[in-house]
Structure formats: structure tokens, C-alpha cells
Amino acid sequence: MYAPARPLPVLLASALFAAWGIAAPGCAHPDQNMPSSSETLKANIESFVAAWPEAEIAVALIDPETDTRFFIRGDRVFHAASTMKTPVLIEVYRQAAAGRFSLDDSLRVENDFTSIADGSPFRIEDDSDDALYEHLGHSMSIRDLAERMITVSSNLATNLVIERVEADSVQRAMERMGTQTMRVLRGVEDIKAFEQGLNNTATAADLALLLDAIRRGAAVSPAASEAMRDILLKQEFNEMIPAGLPPGTRVAHKTGWITGIVHDAAIVYPENAASYVLVILTEGFEDHETASQAGAEIARMAHEAVR
């Protein structure tokens, strides 16, 4: 046993201890043929999640080592926020492998994009990557832009990359990999599209499927999967899933958040143990910190159960 990276706030801790007396939601049942230990973990997480009736929380766990595979609201559709950057990364490597471009080819860094709603121009106004704007008017390699898209969740880099690979191609690639509901329609910060409901969407089950393909070396190729994993391991926003894991645990993951939405989708690499996939999607928490700490507690529960 070990403690989370940061103490839980009083409200979150109270909810955790109260949750064990709350019945699990009727809409989530143990998966057929699931090991009893998995059923117990799933029931415990369901009870924890039930402590926040005002929020929607979806969880997906895939762990071949312990034969644990379950979903809690796995098909519930959420605004994808920046988790959609993971399938974009996969498509970048797929097109590079197909010879459409080299990852070392350059793109001109311009903050000028076209809305899918009406063709009007728009610019990125809100970004977590201020440094990229120093390169406006200059060129940067597709490889570097793809890495910034993941590690610092650069919105400008994302839109430049999506313009090159095209959202329709990302969507088709996801579907070929087996996703059922996830949608990538556009880049980010397209406000007119957002107002018309033309949004990128994700489910915990679909994100888990994509990350498990990377984990298994089956996303594009073993070499491409390894390269994508290495980028995901450099993620700089670590307040959800990594915060609930033991020190030294490597996490290859992509976060995402907008107002009322906080997500994290990860491949977890424990020290001296097999890797597994964990996805946590949330909507409806009053603040980012509480959502992140709830996700960190779910990650702690899952990790202690399977490792």
C-alpha cells in the first residue's frame, strides 16, 4: 500500500469513505466471465464514482497480465478535449509509414485556420504552448510539431498537423483500428464549429483500444508504436493518473480538459511489472483539481488491485 502523491482534500476523502456504503449504479454490471478479483475492483470503483452524482465518470481498464478488462460507462460519449490528439498522432505515423511524407519534412508555423462550420478564418487564442508562437513565420518539422501536440498539448501544433494529415483520414484510421464511437471532425479552438455542436468526441472504451494497440506494438508498426509511446511518456501534465501511482511508475498518456471536462488516457508501465491501459474521462466536476484528484484515486485503486 502507498499514499497518493498529494493528500486528498477533505471533501474527496469523505466521499471515498462514504462510497463503500453506496450501491453501484444499475447501469454498470460486471463483465461476463470476468475474474472475481476484477469484479471486486470494478464494484469498488463504481461505488467510488457514485459518490459524485453530479458528475459523469467513465473508466476503462485493460490488463492482460491479470486478465482484467472492464468498462464503467465505457460507451458514454464525452467531448474529447485534447485526448483526440492521440489518434492524430497515430495517423501522423501511419501516413509517414505509407510514404506520404517524412517526419523530418517541415511545416510553416502560421496561426491561420478555417472553420469547418462556415469556412471563416480563425486563430488559436488559448494555448498551453506559448513557446511555439515564437516560431510564427518559420518552419518546424512534423516530428517536432507532433511531439509538442502531445507533450505540452499545443493547440497550434495540433491544427498545423491536422491540416497536413486531414481529420477525415484520422477518422477512417480510427475506425479501421476498431473504434466504435470516437469522432475527430476538426482541429481545436474552432469556436463556430463548437457552437454548432461539431465537436470531437471520445469514449473510454475507444481510447483504451487505441492505447492498447500502441502498448502491444500494433499501432501502425512495432517501431511506430514505440516512437509514439516514447512521446506519450514525455507528457508534462501529470495531475491525474500519474498522481495516483507509486513513485517511479512511468506513464505514457494524453490528458485533455476544457470547462467542466477533465480526462486522462494512459498506458501504465510499473517498475518490474507488465504494462496495462487505464482511461478516466470526467464531466461535471466543479473544478479541475477535484476532478484530477478523483481520477488519481481511481488510478490508485486500480493499480493496487492489479499490481
Q: Rounded distance, CA 115 to CA 174, Å?
A: 22
- What's the pLDDT at 12? 53
Q: Can you give the three-state secondary structure of the chain, one letter per residue?
A: CCCCCCCCCHHHHHHHHHHCCCCCCCCCCCCCCCCHHHHHHHHHHHHHHCCCCCCEEEEEEEEHHHCEEEEECCCCCEECHHHHHHHHHHHHHHHHHCCCCCCCCEEECCCCEECCCCCCEECCCCCCCHHHHHHCCCEEEHHHHHHHHHHCCCHHHHHHHHHHHCHHHHHHHHHHHCCCCCECCCCCCCHHHHHCCCCCEECHHHHHHHHHHHHHCCCCCHHHHHHHHHHHCCCCCCCCCHHHCCCCCEEEEEEEEECCEEEEEEEEECCCCCCEEEEEEEECCCCHHHHHHHHHHHHHHHHHHHC
- What's the pLDDT at 2? 40
What's the pTM value of the predicted model, to 2 decimals?
0.88
Provide the phi-psi class of 74: left if phi over 0, else alpha when psi is between -120 and 50, else beta: alpha
Listed residue (298, 285, 225) closest to 258, CA to CA: 285
pLDDT in tens, 23-57: 333 333 335 455 567 889 999 999 999 999 999 99
Contacts of 94 (CB under 8 A, 6+ apart): 173, 220, 224
Do residues 264 and 285 make contact, with C-beta atoms less than 8 angstroms apart? no
- What's the pLDDT at 37? 73
Q: Rounded distance, CA 212 to CA 275, Å?
A: 10
C-alpha cell at 275: 504494462
- Domain ranges in the chain are 10-76+203-306, 81-195
The reply to whether CATH 3.40.710.10 applies to domain 10-76+203-306 is yes
Q: Rounded distance, CA 250 to CA 263, Å?
A: 18
Listed residue (203, 195, 185, 180) closest to 256, CA to CA: 203
Listed residue (226, 214, 85) closest to 147, CA to CA: 85
Q: Rounded distance, CA 99 to CA 23, Å?
A: 53
- What's the pLDDT at 34? 58
- What's the pLDDT at 126? 87
**∠ at Cα 292 (286, 295), nearest 5°?**
115
- What's the pLDDT at 28? 37
The pLDDT tens digits along the chain (307 residues) read 343 444 444 445 444 434 433 333 333 333 545 556 788 999 999 999 999 999 999 999 999 999 999 999 999 999 999 999 999 999 999 999 999 999 999 999 999 999 999 999 999 998 999 999 999 999 999 999 999 999 999 999 999 999 999 999 999 999 999 999 999 999 999 999 999 999 999 999 999 999 999 999 999 999 999 999 999 999 999 999 999 999 999 999 999 999 999 999 999 999 999 999 999 999 999 999 999 999 999 999 999 999 9
Q: Tell me the CATH architecture of domain 81-195.
A: 3-Layer(aba) Sandwich (3.40)
